[in-house]
Amino acid sequence: MYFKEEFNMKKIVVLGSINVDTILNIARLPLPGETMAMSNRSTAGGGKGANQAIAAVRAGSETAFISKIGKDHAADFMIDTFKEDGLNIEHVTEDETAGTGKAYILLDDNGQNSILIYGGANQTITTEDIKNASETIASADCLITEFETPLEASIEAFKIAKANKVLTILNPAPAKNNIPEELLKLSDIIVPNETEAEAITGIKVTDLDSMKKAAKKLHTMGVKHVIITVGANGAFYSLGEEDGFVNAFKVNTVDTTAAGDTFIGYLASALNSDLGNIEEAMKFASKASSITVQTQGAQNSIPYVKNVKI
């Protein structure tokens, strides 16, 4: 049985980044001043927002994407990818001057990565762009955003969402320690990894007790519900009065790129508005992520729902 058979198709909107990823395969991360040879180099579609949108649409959700691209070959490459998956790109617009976003991924032999980002057109998204997409946001079941696009745009989008009773999911990545209080209070669910949780709360996440402390701090900062992902170990959730932990599926990891994005896209696609099925939705998302890490690359590694069996 596929988990997909147990939930209704959602309408998801993702506000986020588009990047073309250049993946550099190396044995290990270089030391300062060191010159190293690469074993391979490849290009793939990426960007946290695009990854999350692709994950949601492949999970079976009707998905719209709000983003910006440049007028370049990289943009053509990404648009073709979106069309193949049936992603609604009505609100993916062109910037006249900035280029399409780029990411340079250092991938070591253990499957761990370090990523350098050129924001480009992603950083030109404005509140006016969000207002132009207000009807799309208002009609959604869930809105997702992250930190590779301007905070002002995220706040505007979340305001529209909350005014229309749309579930909001904030993925605070890349890590920031000065998130506006307004954005946190507009977030129904925050989904940081352990590094991002520490950056926000100042609490180092190492075990279940520290996860609970970090979640409590996030609640006091205004976030209603918290999910902290801890890589190959799984994910912790706190709904205030209720908390729990969902173990990850054990697999041989090749590349962790887009694992967190896959988790969020699949989570949003499965999660009920009252969060009553949170553990089941997290298991579904975790299973999808476990498939993602077994293939090198970002969007090409995100699975289709027919292949996500629980």
220 is in an annotated binding site: no
Tokens 């305001």, residue located: 159
Q: Tell me the pairing of strands 62-69 and 88-94.
A: parallel
136 is in an annotated binding site: no
120 is in an annotated binding site: no
119 is in an annotated binding site: no
Question: 234: how many CB neighbours lie within 10 A of its CB?
Answer: 16
229 is in an annotated binding site: yes
133 is in an annotated binding site: no
Tokens (6 digits) for 210: 């520290």
234 is in an annotated binding site: yes
C-alpha closest to that of 137 among 116, 115, 160: 160
Judged on CB neighbours under 10 Å (0-12, 13-18, 19+), 224 is middle
97 is in an annotated binding site: no
188 is in an annotated binding site: no
DSSP H helices, the chain, are 48-58, 73-85, 127-132, 134-138, 151-163, 181-185, 194-201, 208-220, 259-270, 278-292
Q: Which of 76, 141, 261, 274 is labelled catalytic?
A: 261
**Cβ–Cβ < 8 Å for 95, 124:** yes
**Cβ–Cβ < 8 Å for 236, 247:** no
261 is catalytic: yes
19 is in an annotated binding site: yes
20 is in an annotated binding site: yes
**Cβ–Cβ < 8 Å for 84, 143:** no
231 is in an annotated binding site: yes
79: three-class secondary structure by DSSP: helix
244 is in an annotated binding site: no
198: three-class secondary structure by DSSP: helix
**Cβ–Cβ < 8 Å for 12, 62:** yes
Determine the angle formed by the axes of helices 194-201 and 208-220, rounding to 10 degrees.
50
22 is in an annotated binding site: no
21 is in an annotated binding site: yes
Return binding residues for ATP.
193, 229-234, 260-261
Return binding residues for K(+).
255, 257, 292, 295, 297, 301
Return binding residues for substrate.
19-21, 47-51, 148, 261
> Would you name the residues annotated as active-site residues?
261
Return binding residues.
19-21, 47-51, 148, 193, 229-234, 255, 257, 260-261, 292, 295, 297, 301
